[in-house]
Chain A
Amino acid sequence: MTASIATSQTILVVGGGIGGMTAALEAAECGKQVILVERNATLGGRTALLYRYFPKMCHPTCGMEINLRRLKGNRNVRVMTMTEVLEVSGVRGDYTVKLKLSPRYVNANCTACGECAKAVETEIDNPYEYNLAKTRAAYLPHNMAYPMHYVLDPSIIGTADAEKARAACKYDAIELDMQEEIVEIKAGAIVWATGWKPYDAAKIQPYGYDRFANVITSVEFERFANPHGPTGGKLLRPSDGKEAKNIAFIQCAGSRDENHLRHCSRICCMASLKQTHYVREAYGDDAKSTIYYIDIRVIDRLEDFYLKVQQDPTVSFIKSKVAKIVEDKAGNPVLHGVDTEGYHRYATTHDLVVLAVGMEPETRGIKLPDDMLLDSSGFIEGSNLPAGVEGIYGAGAATSPLDVNRSVQSATAAALRAIQVVHKTSTVEGVR
C-alpha cells in the first residue's frame, strides 16, 4: 500500500558561502523552492574574502558576480542573511526549522549610498578584514555584498551615533527598533553548507602568532594582497610597515597534527604556492619566498601549478616543519628547525612569516541536527539514519577540506540529493 503524504517541498540551505550559494542556485534552477540562510550580513562567505583563486589566478569577485547574477534572476530562492538555525526537528519531507533573525537595523530601502557611515563616528574591528582594519560601525561588509545593504553594529544601538546614522539616511532605511526574531519554517530537505574557519593560529604556541606582529596567517595575507584590503594591496609587514620582500610560508600550521587538527587541510599547499605569485608580482626579482613543508600535497592537475612555481628562482622549498619562531631585536622573525634533506640545523631570518593555517569545520561550535554524522575532525560524513530515510546533506567545506572548485562540485551533488528527497516525499512514498 502506498499513500500520499502532505509535505513541504522547500529545500533549506544553511550557509551562504560558495557551497551554499551553489546548492541553493542549482536546486532553484531546477524549479525547487529554496530558502538560503546565512549567519553574516552578506553572502559570499570566506571565498569573497580571498584575493585570487588558484590555479587560474582569477579574482573571486568574478565568480561571485556570476552567482549573484543567477540569484537575482531567479524567483525560487529566498535569501535570509543574519539568520542562524537554532533547531531542526521532524523527518525528511517534513522538517520544522527554528531560525533566529538578528536585527540588521537597516531595511530594504537602503541604496548603499554610504551617508550613514559618514555620520557615525564609532569604529569597530572589521570582521570582513579578519579584524586587521577598522571600519565605521555603520558599514557595508564588502564591495560584493549581497544584499547590497549597510548594516549597523549592535554596539552603537541606543547611542547618539545610531541617531546620527538615522538622521543622515535620506531613504528611511534605518530602523533602530528592529528586534531579534525567532521564526519557524518548514522544509522537505536540508543542505548543510556551513563551511570552515581558519584554525586559531595562537594555539600553535611555538610559532608565536599571538606574540609576534610579523607572524600572520594565510587568510590575513590574502587581505594584505588585496587592493581593497587594509594595506591597499601592498605587502607591508604589520610591525613597522616595511615592505616584506623575504617571506616564509609555513605549511601544516595546525593541520596533520594530532595536537591541533588531525586532518590534512588539503588546500594550504596550493594556497601558499599561489601566494608566492603575490610576492613575485609585488617585488619582481627582489622577491624571496621560502616554503617550509612536510610534503607538498597538490592534487591531480594542480601539479602543473606546483611545477611552474618550482621553476621560479625567487621561490625556494625547505623540507622541514619549523620547530619554533623567535623574534630578533629588529622585529624580524627567525625560524628554527632541522631540515629533512640532510638534517641541517637552521636559524633563518625572514621579514614576514605566513602560517598556512588549516581548515577547521565550522560545525565545531554550532548546534547541529541530531542525525548528522561527523568524522573525527568534525566534518560532516553523512547521516546516522539508515540510507533512504535521511534528508539532511552536507555540502562544501562543511564535509571535508575542499577548495572552491571541489566545494562547488560537492554542493551540486548535495542539491541533487535534496531535490530527490522533495521529489519522493512530496508525491508518493511507500509505507514502511
Chain B
Amino acid sequence: MSELNQKAVAKYENNFLREVEERVEDGEWVKMCMQCGVCAGSCPLGNAWEHSPQKLFRMIMAGKREEVLTSDAMWMCTSCYSCIVRCPRKLPITHIMHGLAHYSHRLELAPKGQPTRELARIFWQNLVKTGRVNELKFSLAVYFKDGFVQGIKNLLSMQGIALGLVKARRLNPMEIIGGHKCRDIGGIQKMLAKAREIEDRRQGFTS
C-alpha cells in the first residue's frame, strides 16, 4: 500500500463518497446520479469493461473503495462524451472517469500494466523531458513497453506505416538524437512542478 493511500484511508475512514467528493475532479457530482443507466447503455465501449459509470457511482456511494480504485473501467473511457451528452442530470461523467483514473493512479492502486495507463505514463514522461512530444521516441517506448521481443514484433508490423510517414515527411528519423525541444526547458519543468504542488494542495495530498 502506498503512503498516500494509507494516509487517505486513515483520513476518510469508511467515507469513500466524501473522499471522492473532495479529492476526485468533479467528484462532488457523483451523488447526483439517479441510476437511470443511460450512460452505461450509451457507452460505445460498454461491453468491454467490468463496471459501467452508473455502477461505479453506486459502488462509490456504497463505500466499495478497493473495488472502485482498482477497477480498470475508468481507464477504458475514450472521451467520446456520449454519456455527458445524454445524462439526464448533466453529470460530467467523462471528467469523473478521468478524475477517478487519475486518483487511483496517484494512490498507485490502478491496475498495473493497464494499456491506457501505460500509454499516458509514457506520453507524460516523453513530454516533460523537453517540453515537446518526440513522436519517434514516444512510439518506440510504446512498442517496447512489453519487452524487447514484443517490441521488435511491433516494429516489424508497423514498418510500412513508419516508412510511409518518413516519405510524407511526417516523421523525422533524426529525432532519435535529441530531437526538437522548447527554448526554456527548465522553465517548463518549474511550471509543471508548481502546477503539481497546487494540485496536491487542492486535492488534500499536502497541506
Residues of A within 8 A of B (CB): 206, 252, 256-260, 294-295, 319-324, 336-340, 343, 345
Let me know if A324 and B41 touch, CB within 8 A: yes
Inter-chain CA distance A256–B88, complex, in Å, is 7
Residue in chain B with minimal CB distance to A347: B41
Distance between B172 CB and nearest chain A CB, rounded to angstroms: 45
B88 touches A338 (CB 8 A): no
The answer to whether A323 touches B86 (Cβ under 8 A) is yes
Contact A340 B42 (CB under 8 A): no
Q: Which residues of B are found within 8 Å of A206, using beta-carbon distances?
A: 42, 86
The answer, yes or no, to whether B166 is at the interface (CB within 8 Å) is: no
Which residues of the other chain, A, contact B42 by a CB distance below 8 angstroms? 206, 323-324
B86 near A294: Cβ-Cβ < 8 Å? no
Docked Cα-Cα span, A206 to B42, in Å, equals 9
CB contacts (< 8 Å) of B85 on chain A: these are: 259
Instruction: Please determine whether B90 and A337 come into contact, CB atoms closer than 8 angstroms.
Output: no
Residue contact A343 to B41, C-beta cutoff 8 Å:
no
From B31-39, B153-161, B198-206, give the one contacting chain A: B31-39
Partner of A338, one of B46, B87, B89: B46
Question: Contacts A294-B35, A294-B36, A345-B47 known; A336 to B41 CB distance under 8 Å?
Answer: yes
Give the distance in Å from the alpha carbon of A362 to the alpha carbon of B36 in the complex: 28
Mask for B42-60, Cβ within 8 A of A = 1, else 0? 1000110001101100000
* Most chain A beta-carbon contacts within 10 A, residue among B41, B42, B90: B41
Task: Give the top 10 A-B pairs by smallest Cβ distance, nearest first.
Answer: A323-B41, A321-B36, A338-B40, A257-B88, A337-B41, A320-B37, A294-B36, A258-B90, A338-B37, A323-B42
8 Å CB contact of B54 from A252, A324, A338: A338
Contact mask for chain B residues 75-103; partner A; CB cutoff 8 A; 1 contact, 0 none: 00000000001111110000000000000
Other 6 A-B pairs with CB < 8 A, given A259-B88, A323-B40, A343-B40 = A259-B86, A259-B90, A320-B37, A323-B41, A336-B41, A337-B41
User: How far apart sit A338 and B38, CA to CA, in the bound complex (Å)?
Assistant: 8
Q: How far is the CA of A337 from the CA of B37 in the complex (A)?
A: 7
Closest to A254 in B: B88
A340/B88 contact (C-beta < 8 A), A323-B42, A345-B46 known: no
Contact of A340 with B54 at beta-carbon distance under 8 Å, contacts A294-B35, A320-B36, A321-B37 already known: yes
Are the CB atoms of B37 and A323 closer together than 8 Å?
yes
CA distance A259 to B90 in the complex (A): 8
Across-interface contacts of A257 in B (CB, < 8 A): 88
* A320 touches which of B41, B55, B89 (Cβ 8 Å): B41
Task: Tell me the complex Cα distance, A324–B43, Å.
Answer: 11
> Which A-chain residue is minimally distant from B47 (CB atoms)?
A345
Contact B34–A294 (Cβ < 8 Å): yes
Give CA–CA (A322, B42) in the complex, Å.
9
* Contacting pair A321 B89 (CB below 8 A): no
Residue of A nearest to B55 (CB): A343
Given A258-B89, A338-B54, CB of A322 within 8 Å of CB of B41: yes
Q: B55 to chain A: which residues have CB within 8 Å?
A: 343
CA distance A336 to B40 in the complex (A): 10
Residues of A within 8 A of B46 (CB): 338, 345
User: Whole-angstrom distance between the alpha carbons of A296 and B121 in the complex?
Assistant: 46
Give A336's nearest chain B residue, CB to CB.
Answer: B41
18 A-B residue pairs with Cβ-Cβ distance under 8 Å, sorted by A, are: A256-B34, A257-B88, A258-B87, A258-B90, A259-B90, A321-B37, A322-B41, A323-B37, A324-B41, A324-B42, A338-B37, A338-B41, A338-B54, A340-B35, A343-B52, A343-B54, A345-B40, A345-B47
Chain A residue at minimum C-beta to C-beta distance from B40 = A338
Given contacts A340-B54, A343-B52, A345-B47, contact A323 B90 (CB under 8 A): no
Taken together as a complex, chains A and B put the C-alpha atoms of A339 and B52 apart, in Å, by 11
Bound Cα distance A322, B37 (Å):
8
